[in-house]
Copies of this chain bind each other. A is one copy, B any other.
Amino acid sequence: MSLRSYFPILDWGRRYDRQTLTSDLVAALIVTIMLIPQSLAYALLAGLPPEVGLYASILPLVAYAIFGTSTALAVGPVAVVSLMTASAVGRIAAEGSVGYGAAAIMLAALSGLMLVAMGLFRLGFVANFLSHPVISGFITASGLIIATSQVGGLLGIRTEGHAMPELVGSILANIGAINWHTVAVGVVALGLLLWIRLDLKTWLKRFGVPKGPATLIVRAGPVLVIALTMAWSVVMDLGAKGVAVVGAVPQGLPMLAVPQLDFGIIEQLALPALIISIVGFVESISVAQTLAAKRRERIDPDQELVGLGAANLAAAVGGGYPVTGGFARSVVNFDAGAATPAAGAFTAIGIAGATLLLTPVLAVLPKATLSATIILAVLTLVDFSILKRAWAYSRADFAAVAITLVGTLLLGVEVGISLGVGASILVFLYRSSRPHAAVVGLVPGTEHYRNVKRHTVVTDPAILSIRVDESLYFANARFLEDLVINQVAANPGLSDVVLLCSAVNAIDLSALESLEAIAQRLDDLGVRLHLSEVKGPVMDRLERSDFLRHLTGSVHLSHHQAMLSIAERRRADAALLAAT
């Protein structure tokens, strides 16, 4: 590992030129415009003051530009991680309290440390245990929860909780307190955002606006909606009419600070931080890899862990909260032509400028505008098609999606995703503990052996060939013993049993003991046990034990050779018997 692999900036920095700079600056401008409303809104979703979202979009982007390997990934606050932050922090501090913000900072610090550690120790494979069905179910459920949580913001009523039952319950309980001024702002904002997303581009085209500026105007749409509703708020004095507005905001850029250590809080946040780290990493790496593949670039997953970890540590130092690579934002960054991670650093400068500009005036912004922004952003996350696909393909995958989805909706993000991961691992263990096995015979005209139940094959009544379709390990060792003994009992007149091991990828000590027991019991019955097509790594291991010395039969390179050599021996035995 060279220094360059830990600091990718040393690599692309040397090749940086004017053309790359121009591309990066254009992309940074567009992403900045998109990121401003999202930062404000996601901070609200996380239960934090809106300026925290802006803070989380400055230093983390610079850190990722130094340590990250993706040229297109746009780091910052994202919806799902904001919901997870609210859920984790909400358990240890009341929203709006000083402790709440401090806990969010600590969560970012812990998540950053964990991600960096996972990167340095090359533990990125842990993320593979979040299977695609589980993550799909989780994201869809999170999208639904987030959208529901913002309904209160649109109606001007308070909601509570980070799972469906509590959220829906609190909406119903407070439904009488609807503030119609808020509803007006919210519905107008939602309608405008929807119209901007769906129709504005066609509309501008019709008026002859060229494609480049048209795209920029569409991307700036949410900022325009914010400006519009702020003006509305001032003109109509909405704050005095009971419309929730952002209120006084500390001016200027955040002070840098090292998070305060409180081991009680660290203990409570450790598990949520781990889950947030893994979910954030999985979300981020899949966007990064999809975009990299389009440009034939390579992403180094372990270095990505370091990059995201550095971003979260920067978020902690810079007064933010947990961040990761966002899907929609990265696609925009990519489309806008971002050529290096420097685009992210330029975005950071843009957000820093906006922070200086915005903090003095944010006070009048109706929160309903931010709720509308969130609802529109997360509805793209909701995708039930995975349920249909999984159902068609396998009940086990469907169960994993369904458990994650229902678990997350009903019990919240941490429990939901843990249930999903647990269920998918249990399903895998259960399946491998009761493996498929087939008695096989020769496909005529070939040297290939297949299941007697599925193919027309030739078998020898004195030789039983069994193919076990699984690695042999503790969970299925007893299964194997029962299988072989039952098959032998059902086939009297056997002289040899051959285990075709082409699908046996490992044999652990428990399974080795089972094989020894099988060999012993077959020997008692006068039947020889052979193995065929044992793979190199498995054979290496068997040679370290006594097993091969006690084996009554042999180990054959191919199953066909096993059958030929056993038949040959039986012919020789029969000839010898006839001669005497």
Contact = CB atoms under 8 A, between A and B. Distances in A.
Interface stretch (A318-326, A363-371, A444-452): A444-452
B509 A132 contact: yes
A391 B502 CA distance: 26
Contact of A394 (B131, B397, B541): B541
Interface string A383-424: 000000110111011000000000000000000000000001
Contacts of A134: 474
B475 A128 contact: yes
Contacts of A471: 432, 470
A561 B241 CA distance: 79
B431 A509 contact: no
Contacts of A158: none
A271 interface: no
Nearest to A547: B393
Interface residues on A, range: 35 or more
A510 B398 CA distance: 12
Contact of A469 (B389, B433, B535): B535
A433 B513 CA distance: 25
B438 A509 contact: no
A264 interface: no
Majority-rule SS of A interface residues: helix
Nearest to A437: B505
Given A392-B544, A505-B436, A536-B451, A558 B446 contact: yes
A385 to B, nearest CB: 12
B509 A454 contact: no
A479 B436 contact: no
Given A125-B433, A389-B509, A397-B508, 11 more contacts: A129-B433, A129-B474, A131-B510, A132-B477, A394-B508, A394-B544, A432-B505, A447-B448, A450-B557, A451-B536, A502-B533
Interface of A: 125, 128-134, 293, 389-390, 392-394, 396-397, 424-425, 428-436, 438, 443, 446-448, 450-451, 453-454, 469-471, 473-479, 502-506, 508-510, 512-513, 521, 533, 535-537, 541, 544-545, 557-558, 560-561
Closest 4 A/B residue pairs (Cβ): A131-B474, A448-B558, A397-B509, A447-B447
6 contacts: A128-B478, A390-B509, A393-B512, A393-B545, A428-B429, A435-B505
